[in-house]
Structure 1
């Protein structure tokens, strides 16, 4: 089941990376009803305020998933489903409903007008680019990756053996093959043994 672990880790990290990239791309174009018809571009990070921090969290979660034990695999799988679901819902709203709230901060920065109703009066139209839909697909994949992690976590096997030395895995095997040195003395002390005895 090494392949299951690899698939879960790669998909989770890739979804987080997509979110980070998408946060800098234009999601919405706003035409203002100001006589000149100015067009403002709204990046993903402005349309969905939690996009960047949660995308970074997903990347970190995916990287950590490659080394954690069974209990944390279940926790991280559940977190992936939860974060993916929240981001999918918010992204879908932006992609299909184009809410005024998603563009309010950009309009306020450009015009100085605050308040959602005042901003709504100033907005002539809002159109979406392909980025919200592409990102939505990424969040749906994240939910699937989280569910896959929950379904296969027990079969991944332990990771501890990879990080143990041969001597830790087989006590005494390495000691007979080389002379005892100062590092071995420190190891003996760490185990509570007296190396001078």
Structure 2
């Protein structure tokens, strides 16, 4: 399990970030206005929680970067994942359990032109949630678990930098007896070396 810990953490973060971004585009709440015509408005996740999409993208970035970073940044990214989970969890939990008018205020104001918390509250007659807030709340729990898992196992992860050390390995390898050709010259230039300094073969 420890050998796959990095993969588990990366997949969990990427999945949670993707769900958060997708959720921000879906309808979270349906609000009915008491304006004589009983208008119903759909409130997307991005309107209910404006930071949902940005934080979802941040989690996606953390998941991608976690696959290549060193030991110190693993702990930083794990802590950031837990912090984002706490923020999103508290905001989403308020919508799931309380259905606050503030979550639909921007959508109502955009549709009616009415501003002010009290005026919007008087206009709203009902707020009905969809499954998306509950799904997002569950996602924040998984995200927090992934962050804690990262913090607990990061010190045992196998290093990922070996593929980035090919130049050093090539430089340390003993010289072969084959002639120095044009490809070798390009390799020298890519490492910042002057191929003309080599002795003639």
Decide: shared fold, TM above 0.5: yes
Cα gap change, 1:116 to 1:188, in 2 (>3 Å): closer
Q: CA deviation at 1:4?
A: 0.2
Q: CA RMSD in A?
A: 2.1
Task: State the number of aligned residues.
Answer: 195
State the alpha-carbon separation in 1 of the partners of residues 104 and 191 from structure 2.
64
State the alpha-carbon separation in 2 of the partners of residues 153 and 78 from structure 1.
12
Identify the match of residue 186 of structure 1 among 186, 189, 196.
189
Cα gap change, 1:24 to 1:190, in 2 (>3 Å): same
SS of the counterpart of 2:173?
A: coil
Q: 1:16 aligned to 2:37?
A: no
Deviations 1:84-133 (A, max 9, x none): 11001101111111111100000001100001110000000111111000
Cα gap change, 1:4 to 1:178, in 2 (>3 Å): farther
| 8 Å contact from structure 2 (residues 167, 191) kept in 1 | no
Cα gap change, 1:127 to 1:172, in 2 (>3 Å): same
SS of the counterpart of 2:50?
A: coil
TM-score (norm 1): 0.91
TM-score (norm 2): 0.90
Deviations 1:107-166 (A, max 9, x none): 001100001110000000111111000011011100000000000001002111122227
SS of the counterpart of 1:157?
A: coil
Q: 1:34 aligned to 2:41?
A: no
| 8 Å contact from structure 1 (residues 8, 149) kept in 2 | yes
Stretches of 4+ aligned residues off by more than 6 angstroms: none
5+ residue gaps, structure 1: none
State the alpha-carbon separation in 2 of the partners of residues 190 and 120 from structure 1.
70
State the alpha-carbon separation in 1 of the partners of residues 48 and 191 from structure 2.
58
Cα gap change, 1:179 to 1:148, in 2 (>3 Å): farther
Q: CA deviation at 1:63?
A: 0.2
More divergent stretch after superposition (35-44 vs 179-188):
179-188
SS of the counterpart of 1:29?
A: strand
Q: 1:80 aligned to 2:81?
A: yes
Cα gap change, 1:25 to 1:194, in 2 (>3 Å): same
Aligned to 1:176: 176
State the alpha-carbon separation in 2 of the partners of residues 188 and 62 from structure 1.
31
